[in-house]
Structure 1
């Protein structure tokens, strides 16, 4: 009986990191707040990130021509599906809100099936607020030219300040 309880306890402990991550508080400038249906947080049910924290998560580079810049540019940043998985997010949609309160909703299924990034850099340089930063939703235009359309452009929020999972 004790062996069975010990084995069950050990099993549950190994599952814990998959359902909740203990997060540190940001030490640098806060650039992102994620709230809504998440299981991991570091501030009253929400997760707050600085650039260094986002840089520790899986990254992707997207080289693409976009309507927002001249010529091909290299965007790099955290893969949104990995960020959401890290936070234990669940829901049908995710809303990305900019500093100016512009918001766009992206279906969770789309985020799970495409390597969409929350770009922190363009051509290796950190995105500033003046240059559509600190965060910019960038679709993998380099993988699928069909993504180059008005619906996706509307979902490509720049100056992202917060994300809400619902």
Structure 2
């Protein structure tokens, strides 16, 4: 009987490692919280919210891209988790995403900007963690390097920096 229970526990543990991130509970941040996701979430980790510290964000699927932006000088390399990875980890579901900065500036974007484009929440610029002074801790970067057609006012106005909160609605 003990062998069967041990075998069952081993099988359940192995199966849980095969589950996609979206089916797992979200860990609790161990460091300073730099992002809070609210709204329609299936995987909150703190009073109905999903909170992330830097290591949690940087452990998610992400990208890196070298590009010019209207807000920086020259070609810089930005890297960080894909917005869709963050939303998936939080179990977010909805049609709109509202990003709010430290100074309360906010922009609303359709969920398709997260699901259909490789938008990233940049945590690093040229390999260094982004400080508040340098548009950090998080800067929504559209894939301007892969899709030059995104270099227009529509996407510029959605490119929030110094992000502290994301709200998922509808």
The verdict on a shared fold, with TM-score over 0.5 as the criterion, is yes
- Structure 1 segment 14-163 matched on structure 2, within 5 A: 20-163=23-166
2:118–2:142 CA contact under 8 A, matched in 1? yes
2:26–2:44 CA contact under 8 A, matched in 1? yes
2:123 partner SS:
strand
CA gap of 1:65–1:17, structure 2 versus 1, over 3 A, is: closer
Segments of 5+ residues of structure 2 without an aligned counterpart are 1-11
For residues 129-156 of structure 1, what are the alpha-carbon distances to aligned partners after superposition, in whole Å with 9 as ceiling and x for unaligned?
1110000000000111110011111100
1:85 partner SS:
helix
1:109 shift after superposition: 1.5
1:21–1:87 CA contact under 8 A, matched in 2? no
For 1:4, the equivalent position in structure 2 comes to none
CA gap of 1:17–1:117, structure 2 versus 1, over 3 A, is: closer
CA distance in 2, matches of 1:19, 1:51: 19
Scaled by the length of structure 2, what TM-score is found?
0.86
For residues 2-35 of structure 1, what are the alpha-carbon distances to aligned partners after superposition, in whole Å with 9 as ceiling and x for unaligned?
xxxxxxxx9xx97x86764322221111100001
CA distance in 1, matches of 2:92, 2:125: 27
1:84 partner SS:
helix
2:38 partner SS:
strand
How many residues were matched structurally? 155
